[in-house]
Every structure is written in C-alpha cells, then in structure tokens.
Structure 1
C-alpha cells in the first residue's frame, strides 16, 4: 500500500509548495521514503552540495545521519532533532497516512547556537576542502532558535497532515470510482454505506439517486434531491462549476472544489469527484462523490491567519525595536550633548541653568522609557501581584493634579479635576501604585496629544464600580484603531506616532494593570474630536469613610437651594473656594462651577435660582468684564462680585464700570468673601 499511496502524491505540486516555503522562510526541505530515496526536495545548503555531499567520506556521514534520523521517527515523535556527523542540525517530521508511516519530511542544515569554528576548520583540513570557500559557505548556514524551529516544524507537521489527508481522500475516491465502474452491485453497497455523499446522475444532469450521506448533507430526502435536481444542491453562480462540467465532458472525469447549498440555505465547500461509467444496461451514467470540507477549510484559514499573525507580530516587534532605539537615542543625545557644553569656559550662568534643565528633562524622559520596558517585562511574566491598601482617592487625584498641572501649563492647556465624593467619604481600597501608572499614562497621553481646548479628569460611581476618566480635546482616535492601541508595540496612526514619538507601550501597560485590579479600560473617541478614557474598577470603599454622602462633579445639592455661580478657569482656585463652602453656615447654598464667561452668561440667562455670581476677570473664550455686561443687560439686579489677581485701584474701577457690584482680590480672604456673600444674599 505504501508504494501505491506514494504514487498518488502529486510531487510536482509538493515541490512547488516546498520551494515557496523555502523562499519565504529560508528552511530547506526534502521528502524521503523509508528506504532513504529522495522523493522531493527544495534547496540545499551550499556547504552540503559543494562539500559534504561531494566528498566520499563526508557524504557517507550524511547518509548515516539521514538513516539515524529516519530511524528515530519510528518511536512515534511528531518531530526529532539530530546533529549530523558533519556538524549540522537536522529535524524530521513523519508523513503518516491513516496511521501508516510512509515517508519522512526533512528540514535542516542549520544551527541552534553559534557553531564551533575550530571543528569546521579541522574538518576542512582533514578532507582537503578549500578552507576559505568552506568557511564562507559555513557563514551562510543560519542560526535559528529551537523555539522558532518548533513553530516552523509545527507548521510543517500540519502541512504533512494536510498532504496525508488529501492523498488518502484521493486514494479513497479513486478506489471508489474503480469499484463503481466495475460492479453495479458493489457500487450500491458502497453507496449506502459510504461516509461521503454520492449522487448518480444521467449525462444530462438529472439526479437519479442519492445515498443516505447525501440526504444528511443536504438535509433533504432522496425524493426531494432527485426532484429538485442540480438546482437544489449546487450553488449555480460558483464560477468553478462551468470549468468542472467542461473537464468532465472532455476527459470523462473531473475533480475539484465547489460550493453547495443545504435545505436551510447555508452554503458550504465540498470536494467533488465525478466520472462517467456504463451501468449494467449499457447506459452512460455519472457518479459524483461529494465530501464536505468545511472543517478542512477552517483549519487552512487558521494556518494562514496564524502565519499572518506571526508575521505581523514580528513586524510590530521590529518596528518597536527601531522605535525604541530612536526614543532612547533622543534623550541620550540631550544628556551627552548638553553635558559636554556645560564645560564651555564662557558659558553664562543662565545658559548653564538652562542646559542643566534640559539634561534633567532628558534623564526623566529616558527613565520613563526604561520604566515602561521594565513594566512590560514584568507583566509578560504574569507574576505581577496585587498590593491593596486603603487611601484617600481625593488626595491621590490631587497628587496627580499637582504633577500634571505643571505640564499642562507649559502647553497653555487648562487642566480640570472633578470629584464625586467629599474627602471624608473618598477612601477606597486598591493598589495605589498600579492606579498611579494607569492614570499617569492616560494623563501623559492627554497632554501630549492636546494642543488646544482643555483636559479634565476625575471619577464617579456607577453601580458597583468606580469609574476614573481622563477627557481631552486633542487629536482623537479613529474607531477602527480603538482596539489595536491597547496591544503591545502598537500605535493607532503611524504618521502621528512618528510626529509625537513614544514606544506604544503606555496603553498596553495601563490596560493590563487595570485587569490586575479587576477592571478594564474603554474609550470614546473620534478622530479630530478628542478622547475620553474610562477606567472601570470594582468599588471597594475604605473603613475610614465617615458617611456615605456623594456629590456630583459640580457639588450639586438639592435644586431648591439658592445658587452661587463661580466663574473660574483655574482648577486650584475652584477647589479652594469649594473647600470654603464646606463650612456649615454655607451648606444652604448650591455652588455651581463654570469655566469661562460664556458658560457663566448661558447659566445665568437660563436659570432662575442664581443669587450671586463670583466672576473671575481673566478667563478663556469670554472674559469676566464682557460676561458681566451681558448678564447685567438682562439681569440688572443679580449681584456680581469680581475676583482677580490684580489689586490695583484701576482694576477695581474697571470691574465696577463694567457692572460688577463689588470686588475681591486673590488670594481670597475667607472672612471678606463670606462677608460679601452675606451682604448681597442676606444669608449667613
């Protein structure tokens, strides 16, 4: 049976497949039968073809090595490594068809580690090889890790299994067709017991009979199949159908793949073998043997997908390494270059201080890169542990605010913070270090990718989860990239990545840390409209919390309370005044925060409960003077107190001329502020 099955293998197609595999991977291959005869091969290493296989003694060593390696296949291993007597490493995969070992697929002439040059020099001298040419040929032999070899060999193993399956199917189909042509009675027996669907048709295409497997395949009775004919089972718009019919007419038989249809309208791929034969009455009939290859196609697609994923992963890692080289060299150039300039004799103290600042910033940039690489390496091991402690979330957010507020000011971007709980109710249990890494990466990105508008971060409670968010008005992210930006070494837009830099690790680190905390990260973003990242974590309130009292992001109290509107673009100033209103005397007020003059005008003109406005003068979009004039034109009796960092008499006069009722200078004095509030609202 071995020789018969080997005869069925189309070695021309196998050669083409192996040659393509050689060109794409660099692996040389050969198929040998169990007696050592070469049935197919693709590529040989120069060191073997021009040296080892030429010399009588080294050629004999090759034969011994092939025989030993082939013998090891009898032990039932999927593949086996062997170092040949000439110093090369070979690996073999058995070709097994229906449990019978009929041949071996060899790949080889590579090294698993750097070769011992001394061994090959001695070998060249011993067998009178041209030493220079021999060592030159040796240098072309690749060094490949055992893990990569195993991946390649796993692919080859799947390929040999596929060759085996196709060959066996071909063998079965040929035997079945022979039986059908030779004996009608035997045909009927096979018809009823075959695992494959079998149809008997006239030369005109009328279906005369269908076996049980065909009925099961098409979800119809034999009568239905015969009545509907080809129209009921074949997808007629399959372009391969006309080619198949023409081949059968010309040669009396045909074999190929087509699409067919079940009763429930599902379309599925089949392998179809059809041939003409003469029945016992001397009438020419057509037999069609049909095998559902849905599973085989799925495996083939998986192999292709796995190969594409491996290639993409390799490409991403290559891009990452190139990018990392660039990202490391950039701060290193700053550190080394400006360190050398510090030694210039005529350097002024201002420039020396400026250069020292550049060196410090470059060092911090380099440190962040190193931290990211260490973080991703630790996460790769899956051994990162959770270290939960109790801490005040409001204090934690203020720490982050103080760090990143300086960075946002350098870019002239307003930076806001929103809290959902009072300080004495904001204690939570979580891993503070991991939370800092998550929030740090998100805020870093927000500042990096935002050139105008604002950045806001904060938190709120959503059922049993605590949601921390970072919102920006930056460049945004296209929906198609929402998934890949969280993958390691990936960045959503290559052009933007080149412009802004970065390793493409920050969001991956953030997501994996969020998952360790028992949560996840999602985002809402469109290109050009900014982004909002949401970190959803299990809410674990701390034992230190005083009362279960929550407030909205604008500290809203019941709507029946009178409103004091605070128009203030600086978050620190807002937080200070918010803290002042914790005084029991002023909890009867509802403090509402807006960030510019336009928002102040809109709120006042659309609300009936504003009792007093604290108006900052210098604000974006619309300043306090213009906002006051607009409000007073519609609501002349609404008290407006100007607040500004400028305390000159002329500033106070300008505020009063534009409609303000009074004036308070920054830093704001608590007693004076509440004195004015009492004067104008008659409360307190």
Structure 2
C-alpha cells in the first residue's frame, strides 16, 4: 500500500496531474472519508483540492481548514492532529508546497503516522518541482513572447534603434539601416563613434552604462554622419537594457534635421528683420540730413539772389549752387521712388534695342568734363568700336546703372583714371561691362555689404557720408531684373572694378 503511494507520482511532472492522481489514492488506500490540499501562497494557504467536493461547503471542513492553516503558520511540524466531531484529522507538511489534510473516523497507528511522513514529504517535493517547472515554463514563454514583441516593435518602429555594448553596436533595426545608409552587417560590431559628427565625440565618451540608472532616460540632440558623409541632426533617447544577457545601452533616434533647419531659418529671419529695422532707422535719420542739406542750399542761395547790386559773377555762382542742390534733391527723390517700387514689386521692365557703343559715347561726353575738372583721365574701351553692338534690354535701367557706377567712381577717385568698357562672352551669351577706377577702394569685409539697402562702404573718405546708400542697391536690383548679375573686385587704397552682365543675343 505504502509503495503504491510512493509510486503514484513517480513519473509525473504536471502539478495538476499529480494532485488528481495521488490524492484520491491516499483517500482510498488510507480509508479516509475526506482529503484536501492547501497550497502555500506567501503567508496564506489556498485550497486547491478537496475530495469529496461536497465536503467543501461543510462547517467541519471550514473549521479544520482554518485550524491547520493557523497552526502551520507558526508550527511547521511534519504532522499535526485534530479531533473534531467524532473524527480525526491529520495535516501533513508537503515540504514547501503546502498541507495535505486527511480525515478518518478512526485514528492512524503511531507507526503509520511516522511511515507516512517521508511518503507525503516526497509527494510535496514532486509537487514543488512540478510547480516550479511550470512557473519556469511560463517565465520562459513570457520572455520569448516579450522578445518576439520587442523585435517586431524594433523592426516596425519609425525610430532608428541601435543597441551597443562596450561602445560597439550589437543590434540595429531596419530604420537605422535606412537612415544611416549602412546595412545590418556593416552596422553590427561598428564602433558607435563612427556614426557621430566630430563635434560630438565628447558626447560619445560620456555614454557609460554604469551612469545610466534603471528606468532613467537621457535625451540629447546630436549630429551624425551617414555612410555618404551627409550630416544629419537627431534627437536621441538613451536607456540601459539587458540584451542577450549583456548590460547594454539602447539608443532611439529621430531625424530632426528639418526642424533644426527651420529653427535656424527663424533665427536668421529674426536677425535679418532686426538688421533691416536698424538699417531703416539709420536710413530715415540719414535721409533727413540728405534732404535738409540741398534744401538749405536752395533756400539759402535763393535768398542771397535777392541781395541788391549783386555782381554777375556772384549771381552765376549762386545759381550754380542752387542747380547742384536741385540735382542732388531730384536724384534722392528718384532713388527713394525706385527702391519703393522695387520693394513693392511694382517696377516694370520695358525692353527695347539698345546700341551699347552709342550709349557709352553719350556717357563719355556727359562725364568727361567732370572727370577732367577733377584731374582724372576718362577712358573708353569698346570691344567692337566700329560697328553697332545691339542688346535687347531696358534702356532706362541700363543707363541708370552705368550712370550710378561712373558717378561713384568719379566721387571716390582723387587721382588717376576711370575706365569704362565691355567684353562679349560668346560662350555664355552675355555681355560683361566694367567700370574701373584708381580710387580709395572698398575693404574685402565690406564688398558684399555695399549692395545692401541703406548701407555704404565703411571707407575713410569723408564723402562716404553723403548719399542715402541706395544707388548700388538699386543697381543690383535692376541688373537682376534684367537677367544679369553684378559684383566688385577691389583693393583698399588701390581702386575698384565693378562688373555687371546682361544677356547678349545676336
């Protein structure tokens, strides 16, 4: 009988099977009227089996179960005994598993009680092993499912995921491959520093597993280099992770290149707006001076003309000053009107055929006297001097640009010469004009600024303070409207050469 009890669970490994096969055998072989198992869960005991099942709801069973549960919490003896309502109950300790309760009408002999102790203890060992094996299977299944879910998530997420150990990548998802340009085999075992822009090497050095606390995420914005050396900005979140038994670091990265560009564009736009506001404020202050100066000349010398008995010589001198002041005022007003039209996109273009040689001759005749009076030599250099050179452009804008550039050269040149000419670039179908002088020149740091609105070159000549700073800006706008470009080559104190191109179609 006892051998049969021992063998009842010998080859079984399932907890439920052991219970359902062994406990009825105990009930039958030991002539018991009831048998039950209380399983230990933390500090409590939970009923998991009772035979017969109808006994479950009896007051006797509730009392017996409560009695042995309380006793076992403080007294872990192999066997406890209770007499209740003309019956004897035995509670055997099932090792660490719980309690086996047997109910009989007559008590066991002392020998049987002692002989049952190791048999029940063996049953408890088998039940504990079966339970632990089941729990291990549940944990392993859960880990496998979790790993499968994690791998699926890593493969399908839009974030670029990299896992690395000891600074070397041990896993990369599909998004990381697509984003970096490296395939999986190229990424695996790659030093993580190879993906970082040189400016962020210090960030790489500071990534340390020991410094990452559990459930703590480090976030940062870094610049990386793709396989083709393209620079990209990414937002990275860094966490510690267990991966294949290793203490690893997982990085999830999102491309924020466009966002960073937008931020930079906003910063640049803000700076440009502030700069434009400063320039306009300076312009308004300057324009008031530019208007008052010629107006003072006009009004002042007009009043002087009323002086009785003026000599003809003084009258001519005063009238000349009034005329120059009027020309200066008119030029200023025209420039203001032009720049306003340009900004409002109201400036129109009127194309016509223009003879370049003819216009250069006209300008030479107009400015030669002024240059000569200043002690300057004025030269023309016409590539095709003996035949018309026709271009289709806006005559007024073309003439205004040349006039403005020649006037500037005369204004900022005290000695030497001024040369105006052109060359025809047949390979590009452009005609290139130049105005060269031996004047004070423009520093390299200011050569771009002189074409901006309201800005004059930061030069030493006192005459630089005269003018509203619109001429070159208007010239640049006109040339670009006509399909060309304008630039300067200059050396301070040695002179300047202004170039501009226009389309040349023969």
TM range (shorter): 0.5 to 0.7
1:255 pairs with 2:229: no
Query: For the Cα contact (< 8 Å) 1:392–1:423, is it kept in 2?
Result: no
Cα RMSD of the aligned pairs, angstroms, is: 3.4
The structure 1 residue matched to 2:235, chosen from 268, 271, 275, is 271
Measure how far apart 1:334 and its partner are. 1.6
Measure how far apart 1:348 and its partner are. 4.6
Q: Provide the TM-score with structure 1 as the length reference.
A: 0.47
Secondary structure of the equivalent of 2:251? strand
Measure how far apart 1:361 and its partner are. 0.9
Task: Deviation per CA, 1:217-241: give whole Å up to 9, x if none.
Answer: 3333444433234344445753334
1:507 pairs with 2:472: yes
Q: Distance in 2 between matches of 1:227 and 1:358?
A: 84
The structure 1 residue matched to 2:182, chosen from 197, 220, 226, is 220
Alignment-derived partner of residue 439 in structure 2: 474
The structure 1 residue matched to 2:158, chosen from 190, 195, 198, is 195
Query: For the Cα contact (< 8 Å) 1:387–1:430, is it kept in 2?
Result: yes
Query: For the Cα contact (< 8 Å) 1:519–1:535, is it kept in 2?
Result: yes
* Matching of residues 395-410 of structure 1 within 5 Å: 395-410=358-373
1:227–1:495 distance in 2 versus 1, CA, 3 Å: same
Query: For the Cα contact (< 8 Å) 2:209–2:249, is it kept in 1?
Result: no
Q: Distance in 2 between matches of 1:309 and 1:469?
A: 31
Q: Distance in 1 between matches of 2:354 and 2:253?
A: 68
Q: Distance in 2 between matches of 1:285 and 1:526?
A: 61
1:431–1:297 distance in 2 versus 1, CA, 3 Å: closer
The structure 2 residue matched to 1:455, chosen from 412, 415, 418, is 418
Query: For the Cα contact (< 8 Å) 2:418–2:435, is it kept in 1?
Result: yes
1:531 pairs with 2:496: yes
Alignment-derived partner of residue 290 in structure 1: 253
Secondary structure of the equivalent of 1:504? coil
Measure how far apart 1:280 and its partner are. 9.7
Q: Distance in 1 between matches of 2:388 and 2:443?
A: 38
Secondary structure of the equivalent of 1:286? strand
Measure how far apart 1:332 and its partner are. 1.6
1:261–1:382 distance in 2 versus 1, CA, 3 Å: closer
Q: Provide the TM-score with structure 2 as the length reference.
A: 0.62
Measure how far apart 1:246 and its partner are. 8.2
1:467–1:195 distance in 2 versus 1, CA, 3 Å: closer
* Matching of residues 538-577 of structure 1 within 5 Å: 538-539=503-504
Q: Distance in 1 between matches of 2:504 and 2:251?
A: 65
Q: Distance in 1 between matches of 2:502 and 2:197?
A: 51
Q: Distance in 1 between matches of 2:210 and 2:309?
A: 90
Equivalenced residues, count = 359
Identify the structure with bigger relative contact order (alpha carbons < 8 Å, sequence gap 6+). Answer: 2
Measure how far apart 1:471 and its partner are. 1.7
Secondary structure of the equivalent of 1:361? helix
1:248–1:212 distance in 2 versus 1, CA, 3 Å: farther
Measure how far apart 1:475 and its partner are. 1.6
Task: Deviation per CA, 1:95-143: give whole Å up to 9, x if none.
Answer: xxxxxxxxxxxxxxxxxxxxxxxxxxxxxxxxxxxxxxxxxxxxxxxxx
Measure how far apart 1:365 and its partner are. 0.8
1:311 pairs with 2:274: yes
Q: Distance in 2 between matches of 1:318 and 1:434?
A: 28
Measure how far apart 1:302 and its partner are. 1.6
Query: For the Cα contact (< 8 Å) 1:418–1:459, is it kept in 2?
Result: yes
